[in-house]
């Protein structure tokens, strides 16, 4: 008996991504899985039903049908209560679950004995790189942040030598040089800006420099566990404030991406720093989803503070839905290979760190 895999239209407002793209469907079909999708599931990400059909999927009229006929359900956003209602007990659900935000949905799934795995909990180990959806989607967000900054700015990014004079390039400061920050640096460099970057992890210095940007050296180091940054002490925050206040005024564009696992994003850009920025400067705060790195950020809004535009975009990966879905779909495909044997049996081996750490519910028990 082959395993049935299903995916549906994402109904969360502004979510355009889809869990599987036709290329991955073809790979799953070739491995012996049966794939079901709700009619039009990939439309918003520009993947059409015909391509899915040609890749071997079966198109069903409703989400309810796709959910109830599948043993494995793939999602981008957490399932809604109605969706959970339509899923059979003992099925597997894999997606971004945001368990801290929707504990009642986790309880509902546990009560129904739906097994659930969260893509945001995949450990950041070398073996899991091809499954690491946080990274694939952060890369999209970092790229898009630089493009939005260039679009919002009233200045060129590159230097321009014209008959009408020489235009100086924009100066971009990237705060936080993790996956998103490095992509924002690379994209700003490709557009010709002078880029500086700052992080509390010294390990990123070489990566920043290899992208042609300058690493802003500060005496502050805050490496935490697992390669992440840790939260700063009050004394360190004051030190960071003095350091950033000296540097931020030079930037035309600030792209901030700093995060600390399990905490609100650290406030790094304070109101007094914004007051020191040139009018016409732009702050793109992609940590907005998690509270923001700028004291003045209003998630999802653009605000004008004394001529400085501060934008805290939400769900940037959805704005590049075709490629973000392609990357996410590959992450899911690689996860499914771990979870199953030859498309025929589900094999949850909790000796595997990746399955152990990403599991949220198993056989009715909440594991987190
Ligand atoms: P993240 O989203 O947690 O944070 C973004 C960046 O903000 C990080 O570089 C962090 O150091 C920085 N930051 C936090 N607090 C700060 C502060 N107060 N001031 C300035 N900068 C601050 O990071 P991420 O992109 O998820 O990456 C985190 C780590 O995971 C990195 O070490 C990365 O190399 C590693 N990683 C490993 C793998 C893998 O091996 N599979 C994959 C992806 C990332």
- CATH number for the domain harbouring residue 49: 3.40.50.720
Distance, CA 177 to ligand 1 centroid (Å)? Answer: 7
Residues 50 and 186 in one domain: no
Which of 296, 314, 332 is where one domain is finished? 314
pLDDT tens column, 9-40: 999 999 999 999 999 999 999 999 999 999 99
110 and 150 together in one domain: no
**Do 217 and 106 belong together in one domain?**
no
Task: Determine the distance separating the centroid of ligand 1 and the alpha carbon of 154, expressed in angstroms.
Answer: 30
CA of 327 to the centre of ligand 1 (A): 19
Closest ligand 1 atom number to CA of residue 123: 41
Residue 127 lies in a domain: no
Same domain, 110 and 162: no
Catalytic residue numbers read 124, 129, 132, 135, 228
91 pLDDT higher than 80: yes
Q: How far is CA 44 from CA 11, 21, 39, 80, in A?
A: 11, 12, 12, 19
- 132 lies in some domain: no
368 falls within a domain: no
pLDDT band, residue 298 (cuts 50/70/90): very high
Contact 162, 155 (CB under 8 A): no
- Return the residue matching tokens 């700052």: 198
Helix axes 133-152, 321-339, angle to 10 degrees: 170
31 and 10 in contact (C-beta within 8 Å)? no
Confidence of residue 67 (pLDDT cuts 50, 70, 90): very high
**Are 172 and 48 members of one domain?**
no
> How many domains does one find in the chain?
2
d(Cα 135, Cα 126) in Å, to the nearest integer?
Answer: 12
**Tens digits of residue pLDDT in 219-261:** 888 988 878 889 999 999 999 999 998 899 999 999 999 998 8
Mark whether 154 and 302 lie in a shared domain. yes
Same domain, 77 and 157: no
CB atoms within 10 A of CB 218: 17
Instruction: Point out the domain boundary residue: 314, 331, 350.
Output: 314
CA dihedral angle for residue 188, residue 226, residue 293, residue 177, rounded to 10 degrees: -20
Assign 57 a pLDDT band (cuts: 50, 70, 90). Answer: very high
Q: Are residues 62 and 189 in the same domain?
A: no
Residue 256 lies in a domain: yes
Name the residue of 255, 258, 287, 293 whose CB sits within 8 Å of the most ligand 1 atoms, as the mutation to test its pocket.
258
Q: Which residue's CA is the closest to the ligand 1 atom numbered 37?
A: 124
- Are residues 202 and 348 part of one domain? no
Residues 154 and 112 in one domain: no
Query: Greatest CA span in the chain, whole angstroms?
Result: 71
Nearest alpha carbon, ligand 1 atom 3: 259
Residue 344 falls inside a structural domain: yes
Tell whether 126 is covered by a domain. Answer: no
Q: What pLDDT is attached to residue 262?
A: 79
As a whole number, mean pLDDT of residues 86-109 equals 96
CA of 246 to the centre of ligand 1 (A): 24
Domain around 55: 4-121+321-363
Q: Which residue's CA lies nearest to atom 18 of ligand 1? A: 266
Axis-axis angle for helices 321-339, 22-30 (nearest 10): 20
Instruction: Check pLDDT > 80 for residue 203.
Output: yes
Residues 6+ away with beta carbon under 8 Å from 336? 5, 28, 33, 72, 94
Residue 131 maps to a domain: no
Tell whether 329 is covered by a domain: yes
Whole-number pLDDT of residue 315: 97
Confidence of residue 152 (pLDDT cuts 50, 70, 90): very high
Residues in contact with ligand 1 (CB, 6 Å cut-off):
124-126, 128-129, 132, 134-135, 138, 175-181, 198-201, 204, 227-229, 232, 257-261, 266, 268
């Amino acid at each position: 008996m082959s395993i049935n895999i299903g995916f549906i239209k994402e109904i969360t407002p502004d979510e355009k991504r889809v869990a599987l793209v036709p290329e991955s469907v073809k790979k799953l079909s070739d491995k012996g899985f049966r794939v079901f999708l709700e009619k039009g599931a990939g439309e918003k990400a520009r993947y059409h039903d015909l391509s899915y059909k040609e890749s071997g999927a079966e198109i069903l009229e409703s989400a309810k049908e796709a959910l109830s006929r599948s043993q494995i359900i793939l999602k981008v956003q957490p399932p809604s209560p109605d969706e959970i209602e339509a899923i059979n007990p003992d099925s597997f659900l894999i997606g971004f679950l945001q368990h801290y935000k929707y504990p009642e949905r986790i309880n509902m799934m546990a009560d129904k004995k739906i097994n659930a795995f969260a893509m945001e909990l995949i450990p950041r180990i070398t073996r899991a790189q091809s499954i690491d959806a946080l990274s694939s989607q952060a890369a999209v967000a970092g790229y898009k942040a630089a493009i939005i900054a260039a679009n919002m700015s009233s200045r060129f990014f590159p230097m321009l030598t014209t008959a009408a004079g020489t235009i100086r390039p924009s100066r971009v400061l990237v705060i936080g040089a993790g996956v998103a920050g490095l992509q924002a640096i690379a994209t700003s460099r490709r557009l010709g800006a002078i880029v500086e970057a700052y992080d509390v992890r010294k390990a990123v210095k070489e990566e920043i420099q290899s992208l042609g940007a300058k690493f802003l050296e500060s005496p502050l180091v805050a490496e935490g566990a697992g390669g992440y940054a840790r939260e700063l002490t009050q004394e360190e925050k004051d030190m960071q404030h003095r350091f950033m206040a000296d540097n931020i005024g030079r930037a035309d564009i600030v792209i901030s991406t700093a995060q600390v696992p399990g905490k609100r994003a650290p406030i790094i850009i304070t109101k007094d720093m914004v007051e020191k920025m040139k009018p016409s400067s732009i702050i793109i705060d992609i940590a907005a989803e998690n509270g923001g790195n700028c004291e003045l950020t209003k998630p999802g809004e653009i605000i004008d503070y004394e001529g400085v535009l501060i934008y805290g975009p939400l769900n940037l990966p959805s704005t590049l839905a075709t490629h973000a879905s392609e990357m996410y779909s590959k992450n899911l495909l690689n996860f499914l290979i771990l979870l199953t044997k030859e498309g025929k049996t589900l094999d949850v081996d909790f000796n595997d760190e990746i399955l152990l750490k990403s599991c949220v519910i198993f056989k009715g028990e909440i594991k987190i």
